């Protein structure tokens, strides 16, 4: 077992002091040490996008990042998007468009869409497809996911 290292992780605006093995991924720390299980593990090798979180505002694979390398850096997980009981515009659009089926890929998909819309207020359908092309979904065929992201964009930037 590798040495434990203390690190201050700033997740969804709250700083957590955790002591974790140096090789433990951000995904494992979020899920197992902080109990933030919204971030999903579906491939463990950075291919499927289910564990996508925002690191300093940019989408990143939590399964490829080491927690100890991220002291004090703002990390946003899917649990950090809603304001109290109010869903974020992207989350709400995913509900309204009926984009959510089994839901396992959705935290990563929603984070990815949030990052896209922060950068590109009026994404074209092609922009959306490219943006989520690293987020695999087996249920939806992506049609309603793309509709949801377009809907969120149109609500955020009427």
Partner 1 sequence: MNAPGAPIGLSLPRLEAGEKAIGTALYTGDMVLPGMLHGAIVQSPHAHARILGYDTSKALAVPGVRAVITGDDIEFRYMGLVVKDETAIAKGKVRYIGEPVAAVAAIDAETARRAAQLIEIRYQPLPAVTTIEEALHDGAPMLHEDFAKYAKIYDAPVGRGNLLAHSIATQGDPAKGFAMADVVVEETYTIAAQYHAYMEPCAALAAFDPSGKVTVWSSTQSIFRTQANLHECLGLPMTKIRCIAPRVGGGFGGKSEATVEPIAVLLAKKGRAPVRLVLSRNQDMTAMRTRHPGWIRLKTGATKDGRLVARDCELWFDGGAYADDSPAVMNFALYFVRGPYEIPNVHCEGYAVYTNRMRAGAFRGFGNPQMTFATESQMDALAAKLRLDPIELRIKNALPNGARWFGGQAVTESTLVEALETARTRAGWDKPMPPAPPGKRRGRGVAAMAHSSAFLSTGAIVRLQNDGTIAVQVGAVDIGQGSDTALSQMAASAFQLPVEQINLATPDTDSAPYNSGTNASRVTFMVGKAVGEAAFKARDQIIEHAAAMLGVKRDEVSLAPGGRVVVTGGSRHNAEVSFADVAARSIWAVGGPVIGSSAVMASHAMDQGHTKMSGWLSFEAVGIYTFGAQIVEVEIDEVTGAVEVTRAVCVHDVGRAINPCATVGQIEGGFAQGMGYGLCEEMVFEDGRLANPSFMDYKIPSALEVPKTIECVLIEKPEASHPFGARGIGEPPLVGAAAAIANAVADAIGKPLTRLPLTPERVLRALLAQ
Contact footprint for partner 1 (CB under 8 A): 1, 21, 24, 28, 31-32, 35-45, 47-48, 50, 77-79, 81-82, 87, 91-92, 94-96, 98, 100-107, 110, 125, 128-130, 132-146
Residue 90: Cβ-neighbour burial (10 angstroms; 0-12, 13-18, 19+):
buried
Q: Which is nearer to partner 1, 68 or 91 (CB)?
A: 91
The pairing of strands 52-55 and 58-61 is antiparallel
Shortest spacing between CB 17 and partner 1, in angstroms: 19
Q: Which of 73, 78, 77, 83 is nearest to 15 (CA)?
A: 73
Q: Are 97 and 144 in contact (CB under 8 A)?
A: yes
Taking the C-alpha atoms of residue 86 and residue 95, their distance in angstroms, rounded to an integer, is 13
* Nearest approach, Cβ of residue 87 and partner 1 (Å): 6
Token output for 12:
């969804």
- In the complex, minimum distance from the CB of residue 72 to partner 1, in angstroms, rounded to a whole number: 23
Rounded CA separation 21/87 (Å): 34
For partner 1, the closer CB: 70 or 91 = 91
Grouping H, G, I as helix, E, B as strand and the rest as coil, residue 17 is strand
C-beta of 73 vs 92, nearer to partner 1? 92
From the list 105, 45, 100, 116, the residue with the least C-alpha distance to 78 is: 105
Q: Residue 102 Cβ, how far from partner 1 at the closest point, in Å?
A: 3
Least CB distance to partner 1 at residue 122 (A):
18
């Amino acid at each position: 077992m590798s040495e434990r290292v203390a690190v201050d992780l700033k997740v969804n605006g709250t700083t957590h002091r955790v002591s974790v093995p140096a090789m433990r991924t951000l995904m494992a720390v979020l899920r197992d040490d902080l109990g933030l299980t919204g971030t999903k593990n579906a491939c463990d090798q950075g291919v499927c996008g289910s564990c996508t979180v925002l690191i300093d505002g940019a989408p990143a694979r939590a399964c490829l990042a080491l927690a100890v390398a991220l002291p004090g850096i703002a990390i946003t997980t899917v649990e950090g998007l809603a304001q109290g009981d109010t869903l974020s515009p992207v989350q709400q659009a995913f509900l309204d468009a009926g984009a959510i089926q089994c839901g396992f890929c959705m935290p990563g998909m929603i984070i990815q869409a949030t990052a896209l819309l922060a950068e590109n207020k009026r994404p074209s359908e092609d922009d959306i497809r490219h943006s989520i092309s690293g987020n695999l979904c087996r249920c939806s065929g992506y049609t309603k996911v793309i509709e949801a992201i377009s809907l969120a964009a149109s609500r955020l930037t009427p």
